[in-house]
């Protein structure tokens, strides 16, 4: 439900639905691509956020995921490869009243765009960043990406990749992102709740979305996302609760003598000795350790919110600086501001 203003100046409640957030563009991804489910989750969620399409901006780089702004009835910017976080930072600083979303893939954000991503996160720019991770380059037809596993045979690694892959959650936590989460493309409800929390957070929100590329990397997440294995392979992180999983909570996560989380059997360790998740812990050490529980999508893997803490946002600090500068100059006149400090005359 959103509000608008009628002719006499009074507020009128206007109910928006998914259709109000859909553009008139034909959705063009490969049939069966996980991006369709992610797009649907976003479009179903947007009417529930209390924002308007005209106050929303989607910014993307290059890649399959980067087509998403075309399909949203909002403002959108399809930028250049890897630069979406930088462009979005400019939008957020110039218009802090807008809801700014950044969409990209693992190649776009962690390869050529890795530097822009980590700086947007460390600065705590108020952005909702969704990284769709299919562990491959899809748009350019199947080269290995920064998240592809060692030994991955692709067109650009015919003898198998020798690169050690990034763990995107670890990268985000290492960059001191104030909100870090993970979800996947086969659970709309979980995606919507994760995206909702990311949007509601003030500051840099980073969400990794496990997404299947059924053409160039089909089944990459089958070991953890097939319906019959999910209870034993997905570890839900719930704030304030012991970390347990399995049909009857028979598995859990405890901490060893070195402070490292490990997967255990709940009955053997005892529920009282399981690790209690604290997503609001200011120190990122524990959240980072949880991100290392799995070395890839073939082991029990945490999903949900790893970290959710508060810190001043970048654009708010910039606005404060501008306001202070205007106050010190004695007026809002740009010429006065420019000549308020040391100046030089060039002849």
Helix (H) or strand (E) holding 13: strand 11-14
Give the pLDDT score at 3. Answer: 47
Q: Are strands 205-210 and 179-184 parallel, antiparallel or unpaired?
A: parallel
Residues forming beta bridges with residue 253, ordered by sequence position: 263
Give the pLDDT score at 71. Answer: 98
Q: Which domains does the chain have, with CATH numbers?
A: 27-238+278-320 (3.40.50.970), 241-276 (no CATH)
Q: What is the rounded CA–CA span in Å between residue 289 and residue 293?
A: 7
Give the pLDDT score at 292. Answer: 96
Give the pLDDT score at 154. Answer: 95
Give the pLDDT score at 68. Answer: 97
Order across the sheet with 301-308: list the strands.
75-78, 56-60, 99-105, 128-133, 205-210, 179-184, 301-308, 234-237
Q: Is 30 helix (H, G, I), strand (E, B) or coil?
A: coil
Residue whose C-alpha is closest to residue 134's, from 159, 151, 117, 152:
152
Give the pLDDT score at 10. Answer: 45
- Counting as low any pLDDT under 50, the low residues of the chain are 1-11
Give the pLDDT score at 325. Answer: 73
Residue whose C-alpha is closest to residue 300's, from 245, 237, 238:
245
Structure token pair of residue 73: 């009835």
Residue whose C-alpha is closest to residue 124's, from 176, 169, 171:
176
Give the pLDDT score at 74. Answer: 98
Give the pLDDT score at 139. Answer: 93
Exposure b/e, 277-312, CB count within 10 A at least 16 = b: bebeeeebebbbbbbebbebbeebbbbbbbbbbeee
The structure tokens 């000795």 sit at 273
Give the pLDDT score at 327. Answer: 73
User: Do 64 and 139 meet the contact criterion of CB atoms below 8 Å apart?
Assistant: yes
């Amino acid at each position: 439900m959103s509000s608008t203003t009628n002719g006499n100046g009074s507020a009128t409640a206007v109910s928006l639905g998914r259709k109000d957030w859909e553009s008139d563009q034909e959705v063009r991804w490969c049939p069966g691509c996980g991006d369709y489910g992610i797009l649907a989750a976003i479009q179903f969620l947007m009417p529930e956020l209390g924002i308007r399409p005209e106050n929303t901006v989607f910014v993307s780089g290059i890649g399959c995921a980067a087509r998403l702004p075309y399909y949203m009835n909002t403002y959108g910017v399809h930028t250049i490869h890897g630069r979406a976080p930088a462009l979005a930072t400019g939008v957020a600083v110039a218009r802090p009243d807008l809801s700014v979303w950044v969409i990209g893939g693992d190649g776009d954000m962690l390869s050529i765009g890795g530097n822009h991503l980590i700086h947007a996160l460390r600065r705590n720019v108020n952005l909702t960043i969704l990284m769709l991770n299919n562990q491959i380059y899809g748009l350019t037809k199947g080269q290995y990406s920064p998240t592809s596993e060692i030994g991955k045979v692709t067109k650009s690694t015919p003898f198998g990749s020798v690169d050690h892959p990034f763990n995107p959650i670890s990268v985000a936590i290492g960059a001191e992102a104030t909100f870090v989460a993970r979800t996947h493309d086969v659970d709309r409800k979980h995606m919507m709740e994760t995206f909702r929390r990311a949007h509601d957070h003030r500051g840099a929100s980073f969400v990794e979305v496990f997404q299947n590329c059924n053409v160039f990397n089909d089944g990459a997440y089958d070991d953890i996302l097939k319906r019959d294995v999910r209870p034993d392979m997905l570890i839900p992180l719930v704030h304030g609760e012991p970390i347990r999983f399995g049909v009857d909570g028979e598995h859990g996560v405890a901490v060893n003598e070195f402070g490292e989380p490990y997967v255990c059997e709940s009955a053997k360790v005892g529920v009282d000795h399981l690790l209690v998740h604290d997503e609001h812990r200011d120190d990122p050490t524990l959240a980072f350790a949880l991100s290392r529980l799995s070395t890839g999508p073939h082991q029990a893997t945490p999903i949900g919110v790893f970290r959710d803490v508060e810190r001043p946002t970048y654009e708010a600090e910039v606005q404060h600086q501008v306001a202070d500068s205007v106050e010190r100059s004695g007026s809002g006149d740009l010429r006065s501001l420019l000549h308020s400090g040391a100046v030089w005359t060039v002849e």
